[in-house]
Amino acid sequence: MTIVLLKLIFIVAVIVAGMLPLITWTERKQSAVMQDRIGANRADILGITALGLLHPAADVLKLFSKEDFVPEGANRVLHLLAPVIAIVPPILMLAVIPYGGTYRFGESSLSLVVADIDWGMLYVFAVGSIATYGAVIAGWSSNNNWALLGSMRASAQMISYEVTMGLSLVGLFMVAGSLRLTEIAAFQDQSFRLLGFLLHFGWVQGELLPFGLDLLRLPMWGIFLQPLGFVLFLTCLMAENKRPPFDAPEGDSELIAGYHMEYSGMRFGLFYTAEFLEVPVIGALIATLFLGGWSIPFLSQETIITFVGAGFGEGFATGLCMLLHVASFLVKVVFMIWLQMAIRWTLPRFRYDQVMDLCWKTMLPLSLANVFATGVVVLWVEGLLP
């Protein structure tokens, strides 16, 4: 119980309290760099601006000092409930994401995940689809035509992309053979020979490949085993997040602010927070499923413990290994945040029919084809084809 609480506090402190304010800053600074501007640098305390790092704090203070406003004719209960429903799912998703492996300290073992659920990915999808209600209820309860249009767009977009999101991952489940996130992450902590299939099918005789080609190895990450699945899953998650280029539900130039336009102060702030919070949560999900999770490429846990443990004792080696794994995981999350920001500031907004066409006419057939192509390849490699 205490250990679960400590693990929970760690992940919430790092992602929600640590990364979230930095992301609102990154959003401005990275866009400034990409558009050759200076970016946020005005907020200061006694003349110290600290590269604009005070802006997140200034934002929060400003949101708190704005009027708590409910428009006339709005459903007061639902209007209050909608931002809560929007922010709970991304926080809940953090519960099943492993930010480290399993470590043995003497008799006891420590697994760095808050809740290691058997059907972890199903949990992620179940919790994730609750976020749709936040947007729909917000638009419906506001008694405003723009907000209603925004929430209708949001509901259609989010439920459409959920289908492809599920299908694009089935290929990975087939390869890893599990729905449990800790197992999928641990599965990726190995490497394979890029040309190993030549030996596997007996096209090259012997135990080793000639010309030192054995050294041509890749870590067994989802992105190398399921490249199409990676692209589809990332696209779906970005569409679920409703940030540009998929921001048709709140497109400023069409719907003013979409489903949350009748919100002000911290009620709006919670929608804003939820949207920004989904960026590191998406990063953590992708890192776990496709970028090897906490694993370090070509450096397995046994290797670290054997080499460092010989000199400094096994307990120290295990602790060091744990720290390295958590650091490796966080580096991957930060990389995914950078990638999402780069996509967000590179592509213009899709037209609404383009968003729906991309989902139903391109990505759904592709993800179905990916499932069966993966199936045939897995059976072929295992020699189970008749």
- Considering beta carbons, is residue 64 or 312 the nearer one to another protein? 64
Residue with structure tokens 């250990």? Answer: 3
CB 379 to another protein: min, Å:
6
Structure tokens at 223: 């992105």
CA distance 285 to 291: 9
Cβ closest to another protein, residue 171 vs residue 292 = 171
CA atoms within 13 A on the CB side of 50: 12
Report, in Å, the least distance between residue 358 CB and another protein: 11
CB of 94 to another protein, least distance (A): 7
CB of 285 to another protein, least distance (A): 15
Minimum gap (Å) between residue 207 Cβ and another protein: 25
Question: What residue has token string 């802006």?
Answer: 55
- Write down the least CB distance from residue 356 to another protein, Å: 5
* Residue with Cβ nearer another protein (66 or 104): 66
Q: Which is nearer to another protein, 207 or 382 (CB)?
A: 382
For the bound state, the minimum distance from the C-beta of residue 76 to another protein, rounded and expressed in Å, comes to 12
Cβ 55 to another protein, closest distance in Å? 18
71 backbone dihedrals φ, ψ, rounded to 5°:
-70, 160
Residue 349: DSSP 8-state: P
Nearer to another protein, 119 or 192 (CB): 119
C-alpha 137/C-alpha 133 separation (Å) is 6
Geometric angle at alpha carbon 100, from 99 and 101, rounded to 5°: 140
Can you state the angle between helices 120-141 and 265-290, rounded to 10 degrees? 160
Supply the minimum distance, in Å, between the C-beta of residue 210 and another protein.
31
Q: How many whole angstroms separate alpha carbon 272 and alpha carbon 83?
A: 9
Which of residues 343 and 371 has its CB atom nearest to another protein in the complex?
371
Could you count the other beta carbons within 10 Å of the beta carbon of residue 46? 4
Give the three-class secondary structure for 188. coil
Helical ranges in the chain per DSSP H: 2-12, 20-34, 55-64, 76-93, 120-141, 145-176, 181-187, 196-200, 222-225, 227-241, 252-255, 265-290, 301-312, 314-346, 352-357, 364-382
**Cα 330 to Cα 293: distance, rounded to the nearest angstrom:** 9
**Residue partners of 150: CB distance under 8 A and separation at least 6:** 135, 139, 249, 250, 255, 257, 258, 259, 260, 261
| Closest to 160 in 3D by CA, of 344, 347, 336, 354 | 354
Of 330 and 364, which CB lies nearer to another protein in the complex structure?
364
Residue 95 C-beta: closest distance to another protein, Å: 4
Shorter beta-carbon distance to another protein: residue 36 or 353: 353
Contacts with 81 (C-beta within 8 Å, 6 or more apart), sequence order: 137
DSSP string, 254-290: HHTTGGGTT--HHHHHHHHHHHHHHHHHHHHHHHHHH
User: Which residue, 204 or 257, has its beta carbon nearer to another protein?
Assistant: 257
Nearer to another protein, 130 or 327 (CB): 130
